[in-house]
Chains A and B, each alone.
Chain A
Amino acid sequence: MNILVCISHVPDTTSKINFKDNDTAFDTSGVQYIINPNDEFGLTRAIWLKEKQGAQIHVIHVGTAAADATLRKCLAIGADKAFRVDTVAIDGFSVAQELAAFVEENPYDLIITGRESIDYNGAMVPGMLATLLDIPFVTNCVGLVIEGTTAIAEREIDGGREKLKASLPMVIGGQKGLVEESDLRIPNMRGIMQARQKPFDVVPAQQNKALTQEAAFEKPAPKAEVKLVPVDDIDQLIDLLHKEANVI
């Protein structure tokens, strides 16, 4: 089985988010980058499939060399080969088109992405990629079993779960649940050394036209001081929620 895991390179979950150039660009200074958590759950699941059923795992990122260390980490925890489509990623649709063009040249049985990146939260690349390739797609995926050319994928819905069956090849939008946080791999010295020897290809981009563009950013207005209600005066809380906040 050949698996492609699409990797987004995002600010660490504890990052303070700031903007520069008159609030038109994300300020990367002092920001640690990580594998997008939703992608990492997917990559770990792919490694399980490799260990249990046998598979080749390739990882791919659409973007600049800034993500190379993130891709090396993917190799260190178990991916076999990395690709980077060399471009400045502008929006989800152009990224999905780059990935689709790559997959058309290099077919895979299973393509795993995160359900969304934790920076731009577009939640569009996996669905667009599947649609451009005209193959099945399941997002918010929390369970995945592959038998031959059939996949049973479980997706989280609002208030429950749905089990779906599809034929490979397909695209999965992964998230926590596909594996748990405690299942994530930490690169060990052997993995890091091996990663240096693993193939890493930089592929030219098609330079597709983006359909959306971030024009500016804004941080939420600073919060007013919390109003504390004494523990023996819950009536006051209800009164505030009813009359002042108008939410009950």
Chain B
Amino acid sequence: MSVLIIAESENNTLKRNASEIASYGVAFAAKLNISCTAITFHAENADTLGQYGVSHVAQVTNVPKHFDAHAYAGAVASYAKNCNATHLIIGTSADAKFMAPIIAAKLHAAYASNVVALPEEVSPLTVKRSAFTNKAFAFTQLNAEIVLIGVGNNAFGTVENNVSCKVETIELEGITSNLEQLSIEKVTGKATIADADVVVSGGRGLKGPENWHLIEDLAEVLDAATACSKPVSDMGWRPHDEHVGQTGKPVSTNLYIAIGISGAIQHLAGVNSSKVKVVINNDPDAPFFKAADYGVVGDAFEVIPKLTEKLKAFKAQA
């Protein structure tokens, strides 16, 4: 029995969420009193997982440089078998959610996604996960010899726990792919909704795409990702991958700032699992205020620049 942490990377570097997944895996291994190792793909800084208590990393070298769900899932399943891993830990990024069910089916593992905490119960192993699009939690029993746990973004946080980390490069047999990558378009140098600590989101109250620099300026100060409500993406003001809510992307950040969004039930469902919600809206009756932690009743065009300026000063000081 052992824990296997699947640490994702991108452009030869670990993704931001790798530290959280590693922290969760290390804590889980300690709870079960079993050993723990991590698997990475072309991550030049794989040894930095040592900061979170990972002492051994298997770096797979014979997989494509770009993320390939089939090949990567095959590598994870094959390595898990080789090292007798029983408890696999993965994230909830788009890539993680793509490969997780493939890994689970290959290993006949019991898979739970969107897990929000360490299991309280280990026999039978029961995990708390968000369900009903964040309107509720389910306590799910995992009844198989091998389990795969998808940890929700920002659900556990990172735990510093410095150990020395040995990175072993490995080649695995039988890695195949059935997908050919034709192209990839990706915003670079900007936090994404999936791994940002802060998300700044705009709604119809912004009045038009030409005003989005206000959202972007505020996001930049906070190193935040930008998002939008459904009507905004439906009207084509913002790209569809920024739409958060029930049929868009789920958001689970430490801080969610919603500006000019009234708070339809479907939008609230998508952002519910964010820890702290700030709502800025000129309508004091906007339903979002009922779901918010902090609120400002005011005109977005007045409040955002002020908030951006003040945050700049605050950040400069800190």
Please tell me if A203 contacts chain B, counting CB pairs below 8 Å. no
- Residue pair B179, A165 in contact (C-beta under 8 Å): yes
Please tell me if A66 contacts chain B, counting CB pairs below 8 Å. no
- Residue pair B292, A226 in contact (C-beta under 8 Å): yes
Min distance, Cβ B112 to any Cβ of chain A, angstroms: 6
- Residue pair A158, B194 in contact (C-beta under 8 Å): yes
Contact with B along A91-106 (1 / 0, CB 8 A): 0110010000000000
- Residue pair A217, B185 in contact (C-beta under 8 Å): no
Among residues of B, the one whose C-beta sits closest to the C-beta of A127 is: B101
Interface centre among A126, A130, A231 (most CB of B within 10 A): A231
Min distance, Cβ A69 to any Cβ of chain B, angstroms: 21
- Residue pair A128, B105 in contact (C-beta under 8 Å): yes
Which applies to chain B's interface (DSSP): helix, strand, loop or mixed?
mixed
Query: Which of B48-56, B131-139, B205-213 is the contact stretch?
Result: B131-139
Residues of A within 8 A of B275 (CB): 245, 247
Q: How large is the interface on A (under 10, 10 to 19, 20 to 34, 35 or more residues)?
A: 35 or more
Given A136-B179, A215-B140, A220-B136, residue A156 in contact with residue B94 (CB < 8 A): yes
* Docked complex: B66-101 residues within 8 A CB-CB of A: 69-70, 73, 93-95, 97-101
- Residue pair A214, B278 in contact (C-beta under 8 Å): no
Which applies to chain A's interface (DSSP): helix, strand, loop or mixed?
mixed
- Residue pair B240, A156 in contact (C-beta under 8 Å): yes
* Docked complex: B269-303 residues within 8 A CB-CB of A: 269, 272, 275-276, 278-279, 289-299, 302-303
Q: How far is the CA of A20 from the CA of B311 in the complex (A)?
A: 46
Please tell me if A109 contacts chain B, counting CB pairs below 8 Å. no
CB within 8 Å of B: which residues of A?
11, 13-14, 17, 19, 37-38, 92-93, 96, 118-128, 130-132, 135-140, 142, 152, 155-167, 175-177, 180-182, 210-220, 223-224, 226-231, 234-235, 237-238, 240-242, 245, 247-248
A-B contact pairs, 27 of them (CB 8 A): A93-B110, A93-B111, A96-B101, A118-B132, A120-B132, A131-B101, A131-B102, A139-B98, A158-B93, A159-B193, A160-B185, A164-B180, A177-B240, A181-B247, A214-B138, A214-B140, A218-B136, A219-B136, A226-B289, A229-B296, A231-B297, A231-B298, A234-B296, A234-B310, A238-B314, A245-B276, A247-B276
